[in-house]
Structures are given as C-alpha cells and as structure tokens.
Structure 1
C-alpha cells in the first residue's frame, strides 16, 4: 500500500508540479484538484512564495514549494468508468514538459491516502524532484508514516514504456518488533518488479528485522525473501513469492530446536473479481528432530476463498484444513479443520499430552459462524499446571442474534509448586448459552477429592452491543452458601477504551461482609505506530470495605491444610480502602483486627491453638507515588511489634514497582518477650527466649543505611525429631551502614558450648553473610539413636546463590544407628517419563571447601569403651569409627579424601565376626569408596572369615581361613561353626542359601536368579539332603498359568521333566515324566 502510494505520488506530482509552477507565474493559485481516472488528487494550502527562477539554460527552478494538505483518493470500482479492452488507451510516447524543471526543496505537511474504508496519513514529507523531456527523478528525504520513517528515490525515463527503478526505505524503531525494511523497484509502466531481502536478527535487543545487506552475519539463516511481478494493465496479472528461509526455531521458543523453511507462491489477477492460485510448502523444515510437513493449495475469486487443501504434520501431530465447495455466487466460504495432536511435547516445550478436535468456520459478507469440538487427556501445561482431561464443544457467530452455545469440562486441574508438590486437583464446568445480544454464563468448580468440599458457583447474565459488554453478576458462592454468598446483584461492564468496571459487589461471609463499591481496571496499552496511539500505563481504582471479614476461614477454604474445622474464634478483620493508580498512585488503606485470633493446628495434641493476637493494625497512605506505612501487632505478653516506613513507588506499564534508587525511611521496634509462639507456626521447631529489635533504615533501596541493635537472651532452639538441643543462648548484633555486625552469639548443648560471630552485608542487589563458629565439646545432637560431641572451628559464607562451609571438626564421641535396610530404589540414570512425573528437585546450593572431619585414633586396647568412641551401630555392625577425611564440592557432587577405620564386630548368619581390618578409603567423588575389610571368627584351631576389596560400587568378596582349607569347609565353618564332614542333612539347605548370599555380595537379586536370567530361564536352584545327594532344578514360565521345569540329580538317577498348570487361585495340577512318572493335584491355602 505504502509503496504503490509513493510511486503514484511521484508519477503524478511531477507533471502537476510543472503545471502548477507555470500557472503560479500568472496567478495566485492556492489549491487544485485533478481526476486521474482510478483516483483523484487534491492539493490544498499551496504556499504562494515558491521563489521561481529561470536559469540561463532555460531551466525552471523552484527553490521552495509547500502544500498544507494533499489527498489521494482511490475510487471504488463503481465509480471507475469501464474501458472496453479494444479501446484501451496506449501509453503516450512521452510526457510533455515545456521547460526542464527542478524543485530544490518541497514540503507536504500531510498526505492522506483513502482507499475504501481505510485511511492513512503520512506527515512531514520532505522531497525534491527533477524533470525534463528525457527523465524524471523523485526523492523523499524523510516522511513520517504509520509504518515508520520513510525515505525513497525513484527514477523514470520520459519515453514509453517509461522504464523506472528505485527504492523505498521504512524504519520503525518503536513497538515490539523494530524493523528496517528496504524494497527495490524495477520495471516500467506496463509491469513492476519488486524485490526485498531481509534478515531476522533475534540476537539483537530488541528483536529486529533488517535488510540483508546490513546483517552482522550475512548468512542464509533467518532470511525473509519477497519478490513480486505486477502487471499494470487492467487484468493486473501478478506473481508473488514469499520465502521464509532457515528461520531458527529457537526464536519462537528458546527450548525449540530446528528450523523452518516456508515458501508461499501466488499467481493470478489482482482485479476485484480476479482469480488467484496460491501454494505453500515447508520444504526441509525440521522441529525437535522431526520433519515438519506443511503443504497446501488455495484459490481466491476476488476476496472470496473458493478452495483450500492444507496439511500440517509434525511427528504424530496433524492438522488438516479444507474448504467445502459452495454454490457459485453465494459469496460464502466454509473452512473445515481437523486436528490430532497426539504428542504436544513435540510441538512446544512445557506442554505434554494429547488433544483432538474438529470444527467448521463459515465466512460470509454478514460475518462468520463457527462450530468446534475439542478433547484432551493427560495434559501438562506451563507454570506447573496439569490437567487430567478436558472436553469442549460449541458454536459461535459474529451476528448479535445468532446462537451462542459453548460447554467446557475440565477434570483434574492442579498446579505444582516450587517444591514439587501438586495442589489438590479441581474439576470445572463452564457453560455459555444464548447470543451475543443476550447470554448466560455459568461456572461450577469443585474439588476432585470430595472430602475437601471447595465448591464454587458463579453465574452472570450479559449482553454485547456496539463494542460494549455489560452483565449482572447474579451468583457467587460456595456450593451451599455456608462460607460466602453474594448478597445482591453486581454490575459488570467492559469497553475497549475504558476497560473493566465492577460496581456494588457485596458478599456475605460467615456473619462478615466484603463490600466493593467500585473497581476499575484498564490494561496497559502498547504504542501502536499504525494508529499513532501512544503507550498508556495501566489504570486501576478501587473503593470498598471489610466488616468483620473471616480472613482465616476464607483462606482455609481456598487452601485447606487441615481436615478439622476451624474454631469459631478465628481471626476476623475490618478494613476500608480507596486507591487509584494512573500516572500516579494515590489513596488510603486502613486494616484492623475485628475479633478472634489466628489459629494454628497442633498435630501432636490434635487441637487448634491461637497465637494470642490482641491487636492488629495497618495504615497505608499514598500521595503522588509517596507511600507511608504504619503497622503494629500485639499478642498477649509475647509480641509487641511496631513498623513505620516511607518510600516512593514508580508506575510502569503493568503496575507499580519500587525502583532500586527509591528513597527509604523505616523503623522497626520489636519486643518479643517470648518465642514459644513460633512453635505453633512451625511444629517441628521449639524456640524459646526473648528477642529485642530496634532498627532504622535510610538511604535508598539498593543500598540502605542501617542503625540499631538486635539482642537476644535465654534463647533456645530444639528440634526433638532431629535431636537438636541448644539452650542458654544469647545474641548481640549492631546495625551500622550497610552491615549487621553479629558481635557475639552463644548456645550451650547438653554438654559443651557454641560461640560465634559474623558480618551480614547488603550491597546493591546482593547480600553476604560471613560467620565463624567455635565448638567446644558441644553435644549438638541428643537422640537415643543419634548423638555426637564435637569441637572445632568452622567458617560459613552464605549469599543468595550458595552456602559455603569450611573448617575442621574433631568428633570426640557419639552414636549413629544405621537405619534398617532401605527400600529398593532406581539408579540415578533411570528416568521415568509420565504425565504425573514430578519435576526434578533443584540442585543443592551447599558447597564444602576443605571441610575436615577428625574421628580420632583407632582404639588400641580391646575391648574398648564404647561410650568414649564414635560408634556406628545397625544392620549387624557394631564398631568404632576413627581416622580423618576431607570434603570438597557441592553436596550433589561431593568429593572426599582420607581413610576411615572401623573397629568392632559384624554379625552375619547369627555369628559374630571380629573386624580385624575395616578401612574405608575415600578418593574422589562419592560414593567411590575403596574397601579393605577383613572380618573373622575363630573355630577351634581355624580362623575363618570374609575379605572384601574393591570399591563400594563393585565389591570383591573372598572367603579366607588360617590355615587354608576348601571353600566348602570355609562356608561350613563360617556359617555352622563346624567342618563340612560334620554337617548333617538338615543343614545342607542353610548352607546352599548362605553360599548363594555370600557369592551374590549383598545384591537384591540372588546369584541363582542372575544365572537363570542370563540363559533365558526364570529360576535355577540347587537342592540337597546330604553331602552326595544334590540336584539341579531349572524352570521357565510360559504364561501366567503354565510353568515348564526340569530336575536332574548330580550323582543319582533322578531325571524328571515337570509341567505345572495353575487351574484356579488355589488349585494347581503337576505332571512328572522321566525317572518318576506322576500326576498330582495340589490345593493351597494360607494362614494370616
């Protein structure tokens, strides 16, 4: 549009300017109008001071030309006089120009281009032109258009067919997609050739489109190529090519991999009833490692889409779009689409699941009408949302009286928080019926778990007329209206210019009330270069009140944490507010406790407990972006807290922010005479003591200047579940500048003490805590199964990114009981993929830096006093730990160096083995631990035992004895305490199991099972009733009911094939053939 208009202007204005200049030599012409056939040109407000002159060569020179308004109006088809094809006027041989003409400086204040209902304005056009009987040249140095800043240069020969060439440059630096477009123009007045090549530059900030010649990295990737050939006769036969070449998918989404290569070709007539045929093809496009297929054809008759056949496919996801044939002349088009998105994860990161749908869209001169059906299962959505299933179907139309029927069902909608915990799933049903002119909307939400009973009902009646939506909110309540219920109808209104307005909303809630007199919200608006609309910030205003509002009860209804009902004296608040945000924030908010107390559920006592809040008060005032806060909380004799503060907020497009440079003035005074109330909020923690805080802050948010002190007395921290027991604590800290100097902190354990100091620093966007702690025979843990006494010095360095721990600790004595055998778990390299799979936990931020642990020397005197050692006990082990080790690296990637020794005993198969050597050698990443273990027992004159070498991941087990003997004797001596020659038949089964267990080296799968699986069987077993009576039995399960087996004695004549069939749950049939032929029926039962 812009290109054609500028071309028309250059071609038209040249002879008109020559004509006007000649006329103005004789008259004072202020305006003129000319009929150009398919358009009219009107020039108004011509400046009479054109400063004309004639050079000695006879050339006419105009130093200055200015017009206030030029209007170029393209005529509709009904106003253009048709010309018979045989009578078409050929191009003139040339344009007669009496004198060579030079316009040195031209200015058009406003150019208005009117084409149908579309009107565009181009302002401040600065141009010059030259014309003679040989050639014409037109330049626009600068012009401001809705599409951006324009400059252009055209040259045309003054002889048929009037060959021309030139370029146009459009630059738009504003908006979400800045661009710099350059179009080359060639051809003549019978056919124009247009070409434009551009690069996407997503690496630029912000995103930009620039001419290919100016790209920082001239390459094929991210290229947009456009070429067109347009005939200027009455048929206007044209050809268009748009090629989006190698667009990298990461520009669409950072996690998308691949590229797109899209080519669109169109051929046909550009007349009002001309036919255009178009094709689209995605070439070698690939997304997420899969080929992207897009191919289709379409045809248009004038502005009506007559045919279309489009296929888009990526892996298992397909979309087809077709046009249903319509009778000729009815001016309607019906699109039929069908989608089967079987793998959403392939389409867009953050999505998963399957969606299927189909529908129709009918376009007519009166508007459109659409029908659709959609269904999805096991959906994963961004922001941690998941949806078990949904169904949607309905119809809609643009006509105000057409039927509007839409029904949507959601099942199992939940959201996962940052800790990987899913919220309780909800179900929802949405119904919209009626028409645009008059419709009814109903929303029903309920918990998928019927025990939670969080039901919500909402209904409204609305209408849409002349870009305005109005409605009456007629229902807003929980299912039975027991918690809250709408007291009266509230009015809603939406307009594009004014936004959303809500008035007179009154909700009764458990004898309290929410009163919202008015709420107005108009979203922020981005600048629109096309309409020259400036950017506007969000507008918001609200006025209302709370009267004895049951704040905690409503919060418990929204996010139930306990199944037990709240007591009647839960916290209620009252409030009044009046707030307005536009270019500035102004308003007031007053909130106070009306009655009741904040209730906390004590699971250990199975009852609710109040915090003892007696007074709760908050006042906020905002005047021209200056915000002041005054608040206080008092609870029994335990809490007396007062906070005042002042700062400045800055309105932005989407709301308000507190800039880093904003001034701050704040004061906090807190007298927490008792800290045991914190245990009601954190049941695992049992704090005690007194804390006094007197702090002031000034300066700016980015770097506040602090003053004051923090003092604590009789402090205690107990976590019984973990055995943490610290008491008799004290704290003394000073606030100065941008630092909090922790001068001293002290705690005592059941024995020993902890002393420390530190420095907390605030600088710009970072905070840093550096602390040192000294432990002196501190018994930090005091559980029956877990306690430790230690001494040493540690250093702690902490910020928002990580925590670093260094130092050296001496472990004097203690006890750590090993837990019972853990449940089986998958290796780290096994990943379960499912829609319900939880997100991976974040990587640990704890880092060890040369953190040394000294467990003391190996006890030299046996037996030793266990109370004086650090003991490991459990899973058959009872030993003292000694040695040294050093830790480095992140907790998830921990490395260790050093050697630890275990001295004590190990019980296996009811026998106590003495650990003669028990060395754990640490070298590298955990759990890469070397083993050097020897555990033995004395049986008469023979010492027998187990030697383990290798690593913890691949241990190597060996039976040893002194003096040496056979492996059979070693097993017998180790397990039964007697040589093999003395073993009776009743002990042979025990030896068989023991041998398998020893040789399996503690795996969860026995050695026999491993061998069976390796040869494709299900079981291999060795049975024996005496030293020479052994048999090997193998089995293979054919299906869930049928098992085939074979048993062969090693020495005897037993040679039997078996077939076992499970007839019912209790009855089975077994046939035997070979050396023993039999048919047996077994009936099984169990005792609970």
Structure 2
C-alpha cells in the first residue's frame, strides 16, 4: 500500500513537471517575453558570437530581430533587420519549413587570409535529419567584404529545398543597379555532385546600351560544361569546360559576330566575326585570338594574338596586324602586380600610309620599342621610354628615314638624337625639357613640300634653348622663303636671336608678304634689344593698301610683371586717317594686372582720342576714353558708290568695377548728321538727320544701348537693346525698334529709276530670344505707295507693303500695287539669322498687269512667280502669261553697223554680253504669248504666239521653246512678201535662235510661185530662194523681185536683183551676178576683194568700149562711196589706168614676162 502510494506520488510529480515544462515551453515559444528571455540567456552564454539590439514577435514565428550580429572563425555577419516567419507545424509531417525570411542590409565579412586552406576534394554532403524547404529569402542590400575590398548587391531573392538528394534552387534573382540575373538549378549531395544551373541576365549600362544574355552550366564538380550566349546587342558565344577540383582549370572557346565598340551606331571599332580560346588555370593560362578589325580612319586589318599569363602578368608572344598595305607585329609584356608596367617591341613592313590618309602615299618599314612603368605611390608619375630604332622607305615620292629616342619621367622630357630625313630636308633635335632646359635644333629644309602636304617654301636655320623657364637663353638664326600653309603664307622671313637672360641680347624678325585669312601685310619688322630687366621693342607693320602700324616700347621684367612705357604709336591709312600718340604712356603688364597711364592720340582734321585704364584681378577694371572731332565723311567709302556722310562724331566711354560687377556708360553723338547722295544730272540729295546719338550702359547683369535719330519731315527713329550678361551660354535679348517717315518722297533720289515717289512708312518691332536664337515680333508698313517709272512709262498706284513678325515664327511679307488695270500681289516670308544672307521666299502674282507703256512697246502680263533666296543664291521660278502686247519698232538706218559676234565691249562683262550671267542667280521662267501680241517694225507686220522657257544656271542664260509668226507680212526689196511659215526656235543663248522662215510673193497672173527661205541661226542666217515649179535660183529671184522671168527684167530691175543677191551672201551672189551681167550685156558684173584695184570690197560693173579701152564703175559694199575706172592699153606691155571717186589717182603699168 505504501509502495503504491509512493508510485502515485512519483507519477504525480512527473506529470506536474511535464505540465510545468510544457507550460514553460509554451510561454517561451509562443510569447514575446518568453522569446526575449530565452534569447537573452543564449546571448549571455555566448556574448562574443551572438548579439542583437531588440526582439519582437514569437520564437514560433513570426519574429523580428534588430541590429543582429554573429561572429566566429574569423567570419562576421551583421543584419540591420531580420524578419522570419517559419512553419513549425511542418515538423509534425517530417519537414523543416523555413517559410519566409527577409534580411535588410546584410553584411558578410570574411577573414583576410591570402590563401585559405584548400577545401577537401569533393566532400560528401551529409544528409539533413529532415527535409528543409525555404519558401522565400529576400535580402535588401548585401555587402561582402574581405580586407579593404568589397562587393555589393542591391537585392537577392531565393527559393529552394534541401533533402538527402541534394540542393534544389527553384528561383534565384540577383539585382545590382542596372544588372539583373535570374538563375535556377540543382546540386546533388552524393559525390561527384552533379550540378545543373541555368541563368538569364540583362543590364542597361551607360555607353553600352541594353545588354542581354543567357547561359547553362551542367556536369559535376570534376568537370562542368559551360554554354553562354550574349544575345543583345550583338552575338557572342562562349562554350567550354571548367574543372573546379583542379585549381580550377578551364578550356573556353568563344565566337562573335558583328562586334563593335562603342555599341551604339557611332561605333569606332568593328569586327564582323572572330574566335578566341582561353585555356589553363589562373596561375598558367594561354590565350589565342583571331579576327578582322575595322577602325575609323584605319584600313581594315586581320588580328592574330598568341599570349600566356598568370595572376600577375600577361606575356604576348605575338600580336600581328595584317592589312592590305603592310603589316605590324608586336611582342610584349604587361604586368599588374606588384605594380602596373608594360614593354612592347614593334616591327612594321611594307606600310602604305595612304591607307590611313590619301595625301600620304608611300612604303615604310619600322622597328621600335616602348616601355612604361606606373608610379609606386599615388602621387608619383608614370615613366615612359621609347626608341625608334629605324624608320625607312618612301613617302609621297620622297625618300624618308628617321631614328631617335625619348624618355618622359614626370615633367622631365629627354630627347635623344632625333633625326628626320625627307627628300632633301634634314631635321635634328636633341636635349632636355625640364626645370633646366638644354634643347638644340637644326633644320635644313630647302623643299618643305616634301615634309607635309599643303606646306610649301624653304626653311634653314639652327638654334639652342638653354637656361631656365624664368631665365631662358636663346641662340638661333632662321630664314625662309615662300612659306605657305592653307590660307596662310609668308613670302620671306628672317629670325635672328641672341638672348642671354640678364645679359644684353637681340631678337630680330623681318618678313615680307604675310597673309593669314583676310589679313594681308606687305612688310613686318620687329626688333627686341636688351635683357630681361631692360629692353626696347620696335614693331612696324604695313599692308599693300598703305595702312601701317608703328609701335615703340621700352621696359623690363620687375617682380613678375613687365613695366615700361609705350613711347610711340602710329596708326595710318584710309579711311580712318593718321592717328599718333601725343606723348609716352606708362604701361604695366602682368598675369594679374594691366595698367596704362593717360594717353592721347591725335587724329586727322583735329580729331582726338584720349583715355586711361587699369585692371587688377582683385580690384577689377577702371577705364575711360573720349573721342572728339571725328568727321563722318571718312566712313563714306564703306557706303554704296555715290553716297557719303556728313557731320562729326564725338563720344565718351567709362567702365568700372570688379569681375562680375562691372558698370559703365557711354555716348556716341553724330553732330550735324547728314546723308548725301549724288544724282545724275541733278544736284546732290541731302538727307539731314537731327539729334542723332547712341547711349550705352553696362551693369553686372546686362549691356544696353539706346539710339535716337530725327528724320526729315517730322520722321523719327528710336532703338533700344539690352543683352543679359549673367549666366553661361546664349544671353537673353530684349529690345525695341520704332521708326516713322510720313513722306518717303525724299528717298526717290536713292532710286534712280523711279520718280514721283510718295507714301508713308512706319515700323514698330520688339526683339526677344537669345543671342544665338533672336526672335522678332512686330510689323513694318508702307502705305499709300505711288511712283512713276519713266523708262517703262508706268504709273504705280494704290501700293502697300507689310512685314509682320510673331515671336518664334518666320516674318511674313505681303503687299500689292496697281499698274494700269491690273494689280501685282506679293506674299511670302523670310528667316532672319546671322549676317545678311537671310533665306527669303516670295510669291508674286498678277492679272492683266501693265508692265510697259511706251510708244514702241505696250505690254500686259499675268505673272505667277516665286522668288527665293537660299544662302547667297537667288532662285526665280514660275510662269508669265502675256495676253496682249503691241510692239512698234523703228527701222534701223542703213548706215548702222551691227555688232560682230566676236566683238568685245570694253568695260562690259563679256560673259553677260554673251548670255552668261551672275552665277549667284538661278532662274526657271516660262513665258507664254497669247493670241493678241502684235509686232510692227523692220518691215515686218505679224502676230507672235508660242512659249519659251528661260533658264539661268551657273552663270549661263538660255532659252528653250518656240515663237511663231502668224498672219505675217514682210516688206523687202520693194515688195510685200506673205509669211507662210515663221518660227524662232530657241535651244540655247537668247541672241542666237534657230530660224525657219518661208515667205512668198503672190503672183495672181503667173503660174510660178517664188519663195524666200531663211534658215540657220540668228548670228549666221542662210537665205535661199526657190519656186514652184522649180526654176534656177536666178530666175526664182527674178520672179520674187520683179514678178517675171529673168529674161524679161529690165536694167533697172537688174540692179535691184544684184542688191538682193548681195544681201543673201557674197558667195551665193557671184553666180547670179554673172548671169545678170550676161543678161544686160556687161563684160564684168562681180564682187571684188580688198586687194583689187577698187581699194575695198565692192560690186563692180563694166564693159569694153573697144579691145583696148575699158570703162567701169564700182560701189562699195561697206561704205557709200563709188569710183569710175578708165583703163587704156597703149601697147602689149604698157597700160594707163585712171580712177576718180572720193580719191583720184593715175597709174602706169609695164608688163614683162620671164620664161
């Protein structure tokens, strides 16, 4: 009984303990105080390994730990915040479910042992007591550190499982900046640990753009097979094997397609395809690479690289570059431990530099060496050493050779016997550039063109630079002739230097024919005498137009500044005249200051310019100037011909303040201002301007200008402009321009072809935008425009013109003017910009517009034209329809001499005279004639129809088209001819149209119909006659002129026919003249040349009164004079000849013969 009671007590105690322990576990695991107490006991037991700042939640989850750290074995783990929500009930099913784990700012620090213990080769992975599942692991901020180096990821996301078979990674994602990697895989627990990993990655990197790739790793820890692909933006494949247990060892083969750098469209290096192989281990690997390479500005080449390396260096046995015109072979060494250094030997053969630049053809070979060593300390300097052992061959047809060496150590440059020979030119350079200088140069270059394309002339000399930068010593003597480079040149020059620091020295520079861009100087002379502490400078410049500058100064270096005086200054030449310094001016020049004493320049006609100024880096600037008595007439040469300025300019300017806070003001007044224009056959036109002045202002944030001018007839002109100076880049603009001229009749004098000009002009515009992109807004108006154009007989009325601009838009132009019953309308726009070559586009339209109203010509037109200006070229396109016109032309007097085709007019542009115009004008103009265009003149009455296209391009003006003569009548040779067909065919210059004219004389009572044909070109027409039915030309001409056959013509009609025959051409007239002579009984009827007895070319007619007496008469073809001739034969050998006309003479001829 007692025993049973004891058993019950024991069981009760055990049950109580069990309940108490269970209750305690429940409290510890399910309550926050219990969990905090249990973790506190663990932290107390192991204070050096586990620490945390605060605990939240339950041990059965979810729980949160703040500022958690753990250390052991040299490894430290720190987490800013840990949140864990696991599933303990899964233990009842035989599984450890770790649930969701989130870490913030995880930092893992590894020991700094250089070579950690080698891991056991493929150790067996002990199976876990329970399968483990991790639903998600989120790490926001991960940092791995070892010593001074570190590596960081922005985020890590993992999910997987662990069981007896191994580790399964279901989803993994690593993110750092623009780089994102996704991976999944499995690792077997049993050796040799089969492994399968798949990954995808993408990145958006600066300068590289969007990158994307994928890869696969399969095998086991004895050997893994790697396959990876770069899919964007180019194709790169890398395949191979990795043996992790062997060090590791690797054998990788890669291929690429369309490789380029940079990866954007503006790549400077491209390789269409290539291959590389990397094998070995990190301590001993081999690299081979081959493929084509295209570099910007370099001919395409093929690269081959064979190299070996280890953890500290890379040894290139050979890097060869083969291209179409030569090859380069490099061998060298690159190491990065313990410091960066390299060495390279270069060999080149059969190199044609023309492949790099077309101006450098040749064939060269070279050999050299380059060595470089990085500094041992961060503030140290690189050391470079190069040696050109040989450079030989030909360049641009000249033999070339060079050799020498150079060494750069920080700021010390040593040049070792550098020699360059090119053709007949020789250059030698050696010495040192450092704190102490010792540099020698010798050049013998009688033909500089062999040194550099575009360079010309000769240069000979030798010199030496020694001493220090603050106390240099210079000895040299150089001279040259015909120096030229691009738009710069010097006909002759001489430089002679003998400078010895503080000692006396001399530097002379003389030159002739200096040109640089638009600058042209005929003579340059400069001479510097003395030493650094005291010297004198004389400078003389003169150009071909007579402008000259003379300057004389004296001074020396004192306390890091040049101090002296400007003794003389002379500026002379048109149009500014002669300006000379009145007295010497103290002058100080330094890097931080500039100071000039009071100066005064005396100018022409009593003008003067006086002022003084100083600038200091800290104190700023203070300057003032005053101008008096400068006649405006001197600036007249800059105006159009026939215009000049009157009045006197005077003004003052003052500037003060430090940098960033400058202030100033000034004024330029034009007193007694007048604009004078010379008029043909009239007194000069004077346009007085009253109260004309411009005021200037300068403030820390802007520069301003205000202009005011009084115009005649109560007109005015006002302008304001302000330019902001604060900030960088383009400066904001603000301004306004207003003008009013109630009566523009005074401007008629400036328009030589207009008279009776009337109208009113107003302008109101505002300026905005920036200096690089100004914007105008406002409008200009010309109302009530009327004018007379005497040369065309026109009266223009009801005219108006408006120019309107809106900020940010191109200004619009519109207007109209009436002429006759028609109206000309104008509309378009232009784009203001830098300079005055503003793009312009105008359209001109009209209907029944009178364009000429003269007794000899009345023309109405309907234009539809577009006028454009692009750069410096004007374009005119469109169509002009002429519905009605009347031309009444007076016949030219018979004595008028027409201009020959090869005649050159002195003072006239021969190109324009022969159809060639200004190359800056382009024209495409269609001219259509209506049905009512009448022509009367030169014996011709006809209507004109048809159309022609006028073209002007590249200085040549041509016509293309056809004009027809309709219902035409032509009076010639005393007869009225009917024009049956008349065409003017234009296929070239307007002055030489093709001719196709057929005219006939109606003969109602005759069966013969004579025709006159004119063909060929205007400069050389061909005139022929024919008939129906066909007759000899002499008979056809007789019918055309007399209305009857040749054998029925009288002697008076024969003279008319002779005149007509001559008009058709001398060569064609001669057979007709012989027929006429035979018809009327003349022994001679012919054309005689200038060498004949008649003195000049003439038509001669004559007859023999008997066999020994000849009587004749000749009429000149090209002058109105005539002459009578009497020839009397006295014997077989003796003749007497007399001639009477504008000049009279008598000659005796004796004839003898030799057998």
Give the alignment's TM-score, normalised by structure 1: 0.52
Q: How far did 1:338 drift?
A: 1.4
* Residue 627 of structure 2, aligned match among 547, 564, 579: 547
Residue 974 of structure 1 aligns to a residue whose secondary structure is: helix
Alpha-carbon offset, residue 790 of structure 1: 2.1
Counterpart residue number, 1:595:
671
Task: Provide the residue aligned with 1:391 in structure 2.
Answer: 492
Which has the higher mean CA deviation after the structures are superposed, 504-513 or 262-271? 262-271
SS in 1 for 2:744: coil
Per the TM alignment, residue 242 of structure 1 is displaced from its structure 2 partner at its CA by 8.2
Distance 1:764 1:393 in 2: 45
Aligned match for 2:737, one of 668, 675, 680: 668
* 1:379-419 residue CA offsets vs partner (Å, 9 max, x unmatched): 7963xx8x7x7321122367434743334343496987xxx
Q: Is the 8 A contact 1:674 1:688 kept in 2?
A: no
1:853 Cα deviation after fit: 2.8
Note if 1:693 corresponds to 2:773: no
Which residue in 2 is equivalent to 1:458? Answer: 551
Between the aligned partners of 1:540 and 1:571, the Cα distance in structure 2 is: 33
After superposition, the Cα gap between the structure-2 partners of 1:714 and 1:340, relative to the gap in structure 1 and judged at 3 Å, is same
Task: Report the counterpart of residue 1127 of structure 2 in structure 1.
Answer: none
Q: 2: CA distance between counterparts of 1:492 and 1:905?
A: 90
Pick from 869, 879, 883 the counterpart of residue 945 of structure 2: 883
Is 1:484 equivalent to 2:579 in the alignment? yes
Q: d(CA) in 1 for partners of 2:805 and 2:577?
A: 53
C-alpha distance in 1 between matches for 2:974 and 2:566: 76
1:820-855 per-position Cα deviation (integer Å, ceiling 9, x unaligned): 4465689xxxx99xxxxxxx975435554xx34326
State the 1:442 CA deviation: 3.8
Q: 1:901 aligns to what?
A: 964
Which of 854, 860, 882 is the matching residue for 2:929? Answer: 854
1:578 to 2:578 alignment: no
Give the drift of 1:612: 0.9
* Per-residue Cα deviation, 1:174-196 (whole angstroms, up to 9, x for no partner): xxx99999xxxxxx99xxx9x99
Partners of 1:242 and 1:436 in 2: CA distance? 50
Instruction: Give the number of the structure whose residues are more often strand, by fraction.
Output: 2
Distance change in 2, residues 1:478/1:368 (3 Å): closer
The CA RMSD over aligned residues, in Å, is: 6.9
Whole-angstrom CA distance in 2 between matches of 1:462 and 1:914: 97
Q: Work out the CA distance in 2 between the residues paired with 1:599 and 1:610.
A: 6
Q: Residue deviations 1:132-191, cap 9 Å, x none?
A: xxxxxxxxxxxxxxxxxxxxxxxxxxxxxxxxxxxxxxxx99xxx99999xxxxxx99xx
In structure 1, distance between residues paired with 2:904 and 2:481? 36
Contact 2:529 2:536 in 1 (8 A): yes
> For residues 628-639 of structure 1, what are the structure 2 equivalents within 5 Å?
628-637=704-713, 639=715
- C-alpha distance 482-680 of structure 1, shift in aligned 2 (>3 A): same
Aligned match of 2:427 in 321, 334, 337? 321
| Alignment partner, residue 459 of structure 2 | 357
Q: CA deviation at 1:900?
A: 0.8
What are the superposed Cα offsets for residues 530-557 of structure 1, whole Å, 9 maximum, x if unpaired?
xxxxxxxxx9978433333516355458
Q: Does residue 370 of structure 1 match 2:463?
A: no
Change (3 A) 1:923 1:392: closer
Counterpart check, 1:295 vs 2:295? no
Contact 1:685/1:717 (8 A) holds in 2: yes
SS at match of 2:673: coil
Q: Who is 1:312 aligned against?
A: 422
Q: 1:473 aligns to what?
A: 566
Tell me, yes or no, if the aligned pair for 2:551 and 2:568 is still in contact at 8 Å: yes
1:89-104 alignment runs, 5 A limit: 104=146
Measure the CA separation in 2 of the matches of 1:403 and 1:920.
83
Aligned residues of 1:445 and 1:457 also touching (Cα < 8 A): yes
C-alpha contact 1:304 1:333 (8 A) present in aligned 2:
no
Structure 1 residues 794 and 200: CA distance shift in structure 2, 3 A: same
Structure 1 equivalent of residue 606 of structure 2: 511
Aligned partner of 2:783 in structure 1 is: 712
Greater relative contact order (Cα < 8 A, sep 6+): 1
Question: Which digits, 9 at most, give the CA deviation of each residue in 1:978-1007, with x for residues without a partner?
Answer: 6323467684335999xxxxxxxxxxxxxx
**Cα distance, 1:463–1:898 mapped onto 2, change above 3 Å:** same
1:805 is aligned, of 869, 872, 877, to: 877
Alignment check: 8 A CA contact 2:601 2:610 kept? yes
Report Cα offsets for 1:544-603 as digits up to 9, x if no partner: 33333516355458x698899x89x53313132438896x69544433325232454627
Cα distance in 1 for residues equivalent to 2:972 and 2:559: 87
Change (3 A) 1:446 1:633: same
Q: What are the within-5 Å matches in structure 2 for residues 786-797 of structure 1?
A: 789-796=859-866
**Aligned ranges for residues 555-574 of structure 1 at < 5 Å?**
555=635, 570-574=647-651
Shift of 1:479: 5.4
Q: Which residue of 2 aligns with 1:340?
A: 447
User: Matches of 2:510 and 2:547 in 1, distance apart?
Assistant: 19
Alignment of 1:96-495 (within 5 A): 104=146, 106=148, 201=296, 227=330, 229=332, 239-240=345-346, 264-266=366-368, 278-281=389-392, 291=396, 293=398, 295-299=400-404, 310-312=420-422, 319-322=425-428, 333-341=440-448, 347-348=453-454, 355-362=457-464, 368-376=474-482, 382=487, 390-396=491-497, 399-400=500-501, 401=503, 403-411=505-513, 427-435=522-530, 437=532, 438-446=534-542, 448=544, 454-461=547-554, 463=556, 472-478=565-571, 483-490=578-585, 495=590
Report how far residue 517 of structure 1 moved.
2.9
Q: Work out whether 1:746 is the aligned partner of 2:841.
A: no
How far, CA to CA, are the matches of 1:595 and 1:454 in structure 2? 28
Aligned counterparts of 2:393 and 2:1075: Cα–Cα separation in 1: 82
The 2-side partners of 1:248 and 1:917 are apart by 65
TM-superposed CA distance for 1:632, in Å, is 1.4
Q: Post-superposition shift, 1:306? A: 6.9
Alpha-carbon distance in 1 for matches of 2:826, 2:447: 64
Q: 1:776 — aligned with what?
A: 848
- The corresponding residue for 1:760 is 829
On the 8 A contact 2:593/2:614 being kept in 1, the answer is: no
**Offset of residue 717 of structure 1:** 7.2
Stretch moving more, 678-687 or 400-409? 678-687
Partner SS state of residue 347, structure 1: coil
Question: In 2, Cα distance between the equivalents of 1:684 and 1:585?
Answer: 54
SS of alignment partner, residue 611 of structure 1:
strand
| Deviation larger for 434-443 or 508-517 | 434-443
TM-aligned CA distance change 1:885 to 1:247, over 3 Å: farther
What is the distance in 2 between the residues matched to 1:853 and 1:938? 32
Cα distance in 2, alignment partners of residues 341 and 843 from structure 1:
38
Structure 1 unmatched runs, 5+: 1-50, 67-95, 109-171, 182-187, 204-210, 286-290, 417-422, 523-538, 833-839, 867-872, 994-1020, 1028-1074, 1079-1088
Per-residue deviation, 1:640: 0.8
Gaps of 5+ in 2: 1-70, 77-106, 119-143, 151-260, 271-281, 306-320, 336-341, 374-382, 408-412, 432-436, 893-897, 912-916, 1038-1056, 1064-1068, 1078-1082, 1104-1151
Q: 1:687 offset after TM fit, Å?
A: 8.4
| Cα distance in structure 1, aligned partners of 2:743 and 2:634 | 29
**SS, match of residue 637 in structure 1:** coil
Does residue 948 (structure 1) correspond to residue 1010 (structure 2)? The answer is no
Aligned CA distance change for structure 1 residues 380 and 275 (closer, same or farther; 3 Å): closer
Aligned partner of residue 706 in structure 2, secondary structure: strand
Per the TM alignment, residue 631 of structure 1 is displaced from its structure 2 partner at its CA by 1.9
Shift of 1:965: 7.0
Aligned pairs (5 A) from 1:46-65: 54=74
Q: Distance in 1 between matches of 2:724 and 2:970?
A: 69
For residues 408 and 230 of structure 1, the distance between their equivalents in structure 2, rounded to whole angstroms, comes to 53
Name the residue aligned to 2:996.
932
